[in-house]
Chains A and B, each alone.
Chain A
């Protein structure tokens, strides 16, 4: 799907995911070398740091640094967890990684276990993609049969057990500590931090949690070398990254690009805005990242730092494209509904505030807005952001703040005229295109 594909290489169709295919593409070579050479964990961490790999789940935390936090000498169990609980609207990359290249994830996790001295790992897979969970189980069986997982991996004295676990579809379980709670069999609610999982994680033991794509990148970094991986992208933004493009484009899907690629290139790969319409706005990193108007995003390169500078986040790399037929009030209503629905209900600002935001936005969309509603929304969003246990509060506040900031006129028009600035006929035309697309 891309000229630069590493992780999605050989994944053009639904084949080639099995162990033998992955091995034919050079899979498990890195692991074999590490086990044979008894590569020191510090050397691998140094390689990761050199690669500039940053967490692909959304926060972009440097992976090498995270792995170095793990207390290797801690006696007893330590856990490694892969976060495949991909639930953010617009994001669908981990699903394809697990579908087309599950062994890259498995190899990355085994390497992680080697580095951090973990004895046991879990891959927590989103509950609404059950066939992916089944496939991952099959891949695990293949790896076990090949001696790549379990006791004495590849004949060494290194042992690591890896299991798949499927959630039940709660978005908040993608938050790492809520994921751990859910994995322990409890209600998925984030924990207060500190303590962080590296010291108090799964069952209270040191735990490292990485995103699926992060783990999947590891074997390629070790194969090509950290410097070379970094060279694919920009300084501090190493390597390639998968972008899930959705919305008003001709060819939505996953595209693996080197970080630092200009946004227009991605748009072009995705076939451009459908029907040649005008680009209106893009949410660049999953629904929780602030929306950017067309003129801002068209000048951006796709990497953590550039998008951050433009006032948004690269996040998970879920690019939601909206053309001129989109009503921004309606779009925000949909997003606010999502965060209202998915708030875990634990801490006050998010539990009470997300519903408040949604109800006000819905009222505006329904033509019942009041003149002070925008100030109210800004104030309520401000009272949620930064006051909650986890980032879901920020995620719910971000779209409200950015939509109002960049598309104030549309909101004011809605409140004053009790209808959309984008004529309904235009919106309908946009919807017609969606409806007629074969999928």
Chain B
């Protein structure tokens, strides 16, 4: 520890601290622009110059290390003179347009100019002007306002992983720009809006729509990925105007993904369902809640009476809240149906019978920092879990974490990947078995008896390298990603991952697909004894379906099959935030429910944190919180236990007991699946990702996100060798046939295992293809 005196206050700080750290500890504010606690130190704005005893010149607090016994004055005459000098320099070329600048009211330069700026300008020469840049649909550029703090450039390089922005030129012509005029395409790009201390980078969707002081600030929780990102939702007159990060150092720190930041635009979508609707004689009619609920109840009761509870299936989105999922399963079970599931894109449910508990990350998010080795199995890590990926990236770049991967996809995660087994989906289990065999050889521990006979004859070099990376005896982890969970042999992948973790002493974890992927298990939104899982409910169609928050065509493992199954049912009651043609085609009743901003609720994230949130706005139109709709439905059905007064009561009922005790990634033995019929000659294995901006109903309708590069229409991506074998060139139109046929453009992608074709799911253009896994034929048109 070092002792330092700042403005007369003595504080003890750890070795290696800077004067800025010490001042923060002492509760003293030193003005600054380029300094940011999460970014590298630039020491270039010079606003934090302070007076240091025995130093001949003022020194930047952000970059000056504390020495024992140091004396610092942050507001002495000398310090303030230096700070005012810097402020004058910053202002000479900064346009005086605060009244029309979107940053006004939340501008660091504006705020500090009050304290350090002069009353009049001494600079009377010509001012510099820059041309605004096109950074894409999310970030607006007002280049002339830039003060060259380089926070944005450092963010893209250090946090985003790719230096998308840089400072070109020199002197007062030095200018922040992207390489060759490219747009900023990072899935974390919006954070540079928060980082920009002036109005040079502002939010394109938000700007000119409100002033910061007009907005109410409410805490909320992201309904998107599994991290449980904390949000500050800002509203005006019951309308969500923008979303900012809620700081949570153990989860999202001070960052947001672009999905979390910009998906709010969909809340005001014209596709919002604002009234209950019933299909009568093929025509959709807006009706009262009472009529809609009575219709639903009558139809349900009739079906249950005639065909039994098991003829009813309940299918919910993993983005639904704990309260909604709990009441939905309770309702289904009240109707004597065990057919309930929220894992709509999953194919293999053999693990359910031998599962230890609710799958989770297996470790606190903060511990990623200390990991020495990581194996990621079947994941589109960067797009599926952008902030989790960012933590892995940080650890890989700064702390030497060795990242390894197994799977058919090798898109750039913007981090060093030590070893990667690039294998087709059908070979993933064998690849994991190879790693287990290599680990057994490496560690001298035997592979579990039940698995020993399934070990492959030879071990690939990649398997050996991954085994060596994991076997170091240091802190390591094995994570299963969305592709592994949706895999037709997911239970076996889980089993092998468990074996690899056991042999290497690694922690086993699931990245989780959605905001409530862990919570859904905790509330029992999964089939009970004799019940049907999500796949079985589609493959053995029910008479009645309760569809909650999911879109039949886009949120299922096989959208075409789901549409068909719902289409034949006698009753489909769909509770949805949005209207859609697919819903109108397959449902009989549409119940408008509130999105996360208009209801209270709870999500349990990938580390088992149950984070509750309140509504930040009134529901739009006739929409109502989902838990209330389900509660009233329960009442009307005459079921017991639907008398909760508020969502907190539902939550307490749903999550009684110790959540952490229910988290368990263990899996018992799962037999090897019978070999799927060998792929026919000329057929390719499908690799299906769920593109980041099509993953849930909300982002699908966020107009600005839909203009980004990540929202490009799906293509048929294949490696050059696969393309050549088919006689197809990149850019050709191809006809792809699965259970149905679609036409797509062929794209060369070296990040794919041979014999595979990557075609995104969850997109209207590819629904007809059928399941997310399996064989496809591809031919040139």
- Which residue numbers of A lie inside 8 Å of B, CB to CB? 170, 172, 187, 192, 194, 340-349, 351-356, 359-360, 363, 376, 379, 382-383, 386-389
* B20 shortest CB reach to chain A, Å: 13
Q: Do the beta carbons of B172 and A355 come within 8 Å of each other?
A: yes
- Chain B residues, CB < 8 A from A354: 171-172
Instruction: Name which residue of chain B comes closest to A195, CB basis.
Output: B65
23 residue pairs of the A-B complex, CB under 8 angstroms, read A192-B42, A192-B60, A192-B63, A194-B65, A342-B170, A343-B171, A344-B174, A345-B171, A345-B173, A345-B174, A347-B43, A347-B44, A347-B46, A348-B147, A351-B171, A352-B89, A352-B172, A354-B171, A355-B171, A356-B125, A383-B89, A387-B46, A387-B57
Which of B80-88, B647-655, B692-700 binds A? B80-88
* B216 shortest CB reach to chain A, Å: 36
- Chain A residues, CB < 8 A from B65: 194
* B543 shortest CB reach to chain A, Å: 67
**Cross-interface CB contact of A187 among B85, B167, B172, cutoff 8 Å:** B167
Contacts A345-B172, A348-B148, A386-B56 known; list 6 others, CB within 8 Å: A187-B167, A343-B171, A346-B44, A354-B171, A387-B57, A389-B44
In order of increasing CB-CB distance, the 6 nearest A-B pairs are A345-B174, A383-B85, A352-B89, A359-B125, A386-B57, A192-B43
Measured in the bound complex, the distance between the Cα atoms of B176 and A351 in whole Å is 14
* B61 shortest CB reach to chain A, Å: 12
Q: Do the beta carbons of A383 and B174 come within 8 Å of each other?
A: no
Q: Do the beta carbons of B82 and A387 come within 8 Å of each other?
A: yes
* A20 shortest CB reach to chain B, Å: 43
- Chain A residues, CB < 8 A from B47: 348
Q: Do the beta carbons of B58 and A351 come within 8 Å of each other?
A: no
Measured in the bound complex, the distance between the Cα atoms of B167 and A344 in whole Å is 10
How many residue-residue contacts, CB under 8 A, span A and B? 95
CB interface residues, B 39-67, toward A, < 8 Å: 41-47, 49, 56-58, 60, 63, 65
* Residue total for B at the interface (Cβ-Cβ under 8 A): 36
- Chain B residues, CB < 8 A from A187: 166-167
Instruction: Name which residue of chain A comes closest to B166, CB basis.
Output: A187
Chain A CB within 8 A of B126 CB: yes
- Chain B residues, CB < 8 A from A343: 170-172
**Cross-interface CB contact of A352 among B57, B92, B126, B170, cutoff 8 Å:** B92
**Cross-interface CB contact of A386 among B58, B92, B125, cutoff 8 Å:** B58
Measured in the bound complex, the distance between the Cα atoms of B174 and A343 in whole Å is 9
Measured in the bound complex, the distance between the Cα atoms of B125 and A363 in whole Å is 9
Q: Do the beta carbons of A352 and B93 come within 8 Å of each other?
A: yes
* B33 shortest CB reach to chain A, Å: 8
Q: Do the beta carbons of B85 and A344 come within 8 Å of each other?
A: no
Measured in the bound complex, the distance between the Cα atoms of B173 and A169 in whole Å is 17
Q: Do the beta carbons of A389 and B171 come within 8 Å of each other?
A: no
Q: Do the beta carbons of A388 and B56 come within 8 Å of each other?
A: no
Chain A CB within 8 A of B398 CB: no
Measured in the bound complex, the distance between the Cα atoms of B171 and A192 in whole Å is 18
| A194, A346, A389: most-surrounded residue (chain B CB, <10 A) | A346
Chain A CB within 8 A of B122 CB: yes
Chain A CB within 8 A of B375 CB: no
- Chain A residues, CB < 8 A from B167: 187, 345-346
Q: Do the beta carbons of A192 and B46 come within 8 Å of each other?
A: no
| A172, A194, A356: most-surrounded residue (chain B CB, <10 A) | A356
* B586 shortest CB reach to chain A, Å: 57
The verdict on A383 contacting B88 (CB below 8 Å), with A192-B60, A192-B63, A345-B171 known, is yes
Q: Do the beta carbons of B45 and A341 come within 8 Å of each other?
A: no
- Chain A residues, CB < 8 A from B284: none
Chain A CB within 8 A of B90 CB: yes
Measured in the bound complex, the distance between the Cα atoms of B65 and A349 in whole Å is 22
Q: Do the beta carbons of B170 and A170 come within 8 Å of each other?
A: yes
CB interface residues, B 134-171, toward A, < 8 Å: 147-148, 166-167, 169-171
Q: Do the beta carbons of A348 and B125 come within 8 Å of each other?
A: no
Measured in the bound complex, the distance between the Cα atoms of B122 and A353 in whole Å is 12
- Chain A residues, CB < 8 A from B82: 383, 387
Measured in the bound complex, the distance between the Cα atoms of B46 and A352 in whole Å is 12
Measured in the bound complex, the distance between the Cα atoms of B128 and A354 in whole Å is 14
Q: Do the beta carbons of A351 and B174 come within 8 Å of each other?
A: yes
Q: Do the beta carbons of A351 and B172 come within 8 Å of each other?
A: yes
* A174 shortest CB reach to chain B, Å: 14
Instruction: Name which residue of chain B comes closest to A386, CB basis.
Output: B57
- Chain B residues, CB < 8 A from A342: 170-171
- Chain A residues, CB < 8 A from B174: 344-346, 351
Q: Do the beta carbons of A356 and B147 come within 8 Å of each other?
A: no
Q: Do the beta carbons of B169 and A345 come within 8 Å of each other?
A: yes
Q: Do the beta carbons of A348 and B89 come within 8 Å of each other?
A: yes
Chain A CB within 8 A of B130 CB: no
Q: Do the beta carbons of A341 and B44 come within 8 Å of each other?
A: no
* B684 shortest CB reach to chain A, Å: 41
Q: Do the beta carbons of B125 and A352 come within 8 Å of each other?
A: no
Measured in the bound complex, the distance between the Cα atoms of B120 and A376 in whole Å is 14
* A333 shortest CB reach to chain B, Å: 14
Instruction: Name which residue of chain A comes closest to B92, CB basis.
Output: A352
- Chain A residues, CB < 8 A from B179: none
* A198 shortest CB reach to chain B, Å: 16
- Chain A residues, CB < 8 A from B44: 346-348, 389
Chain A CB within 8 A of B123 CB: yes
* B163 shortest CB reach to chain A, Å: 10
- Chain B residues, CB < 8 A from A172: 170
Q: Do the beta carbons of B63 and A387 come within 8 Å of each other?
A: no
Measured in the bound complex, the distance between the Cα atoms of B170 and A389 in whole Å is 15
Measured in the bound complex, the distance between the Cα atoms of B86 and A340 in whole Å is 17
Q: Do the beta carbons of A389 and B89 come within 8 Å of each other?
A: no
Q: Do the beta carbons of B85 and A387 come within 8 Å of each other?
A: yes
Measured in the bound complex, the distance between the Cα atoms of B433 and A41 in whole Å is 57
Q: Do the beta carbons of B171 and A349 come within 8 Å of each other?
A: no
Measured in the bound complex, the distance between the Cα atoms of B174 and A427 in whole Å is 36
Measured in the bound complex, the distance between the Cα atoms of B171 and A340 in whole Å is 6
Measured in the bound complex, the distance between the Cα atoms of B122 and A400 in whole Å is 18
* A324 shortest CB reach to chain B, Å: 31
Measured in the bound complex, the distance between the Cα atoms of B57 and A190 in whole Å is 18
Q: Do the beta carbons of B86 and A348 come within 8 Å of each other?
A: yes
Q: Do the beta carbons of A356 and B169 come within 8 Å of each other?
A: no
Q: Do the beta carbons of B172 and A347 come within 8 Å of each other?
A: no
Instruction: Name which residue of chain B comes closest to A379, CB basis.
Output: B122
Q: Do the beta carbons of B46 and A388 come within 8 Å of each other?
A: yes
Measured in the bound complex, the distance between the Cα atoms of B728 and A11 in whole Å is 67
- Chain B residues, CB < 8 A from A363: 125
Instruction: Name which residue of chain B comes closest to A360, CB basis.
Output: B125
Instruction: Name which residue of chain B comes closest to A340, CB basis.
Output: B171
* B568 shortest CB reach to chain A, Å: 64
CB interface residues, B 106-144, toward A, < 8 Å: 122-123, 125-126
Measured in the bound complex, the distance between the Cα atoms of B81 and A99 in whole Å is 48
- Chain B residues, CB < 8 A from A341: 171
- Chain B residues, CB < 8 A from A346: 42, 44, 148, 167, 174
The verdict on A349 contacting B86 (CB below 8 Å), with A192-B41, A192-B63 known, is yes
Measured in the bound complex, the distance between the Cα atoms of B147 and A192 in whole Å is 19
- Chain B residues, CB < 8 A from A340: 171-172
Q: Do the beta carbons of B89 and A349 come within 8 Å of each other?
A: yes
Instruction: Name which residue of chain A comes closest to B43, CB basis.
Output: A192
Q: Do the beta carbons of A348 and B46 come within 8 Å of each other?
A: yes
Instruction: Name which residue of chain B comes closest to A382, CB basis.
Output: B85
* A391 shortest CB reach to chain B, Å: 11
Measured in the bound complex, the distance between the Cα atoms of B762 and A267 in whole Å is 83
Instruction: Name which residue of chain A comes closest to B168, CB basis.
Output: A187
Measured in the bound complex, the distance between the Cα atoms of B171 and A354 in whole Å is 8
Measured in the bound complex, the distance between the Cα atoms of B60 and A382 in whole Å is 17
**Cross-interface CB contact of B85 among A194, A349, A360, A389, cutoff 8 Å:** A349
Q: Do the beta carbons of A389 and B43 come within 8 Å of each other?
A: yes
- Chain A residues, CB < 8 A from B85: 349, 382-383, 387
- Chain B residues, CB < 8 A from A388: 46
Measured in the bound complex, the distance between the Cα atoms of B90 and A211 in whole Å is 35
* A291 shortest CB reach to chain B, Å: 23
**Cross-interface CB contact of A387 among B41, B58, B93, B173, cutoff 8 Å:** B58
* A154 shortest CB reach to chain B, Å: 40
* A10 shortest CB reach to chain B, Å: 40
Q: Do the beta carbons of A353 and B89 come within 8 Å of each other?
A: yes
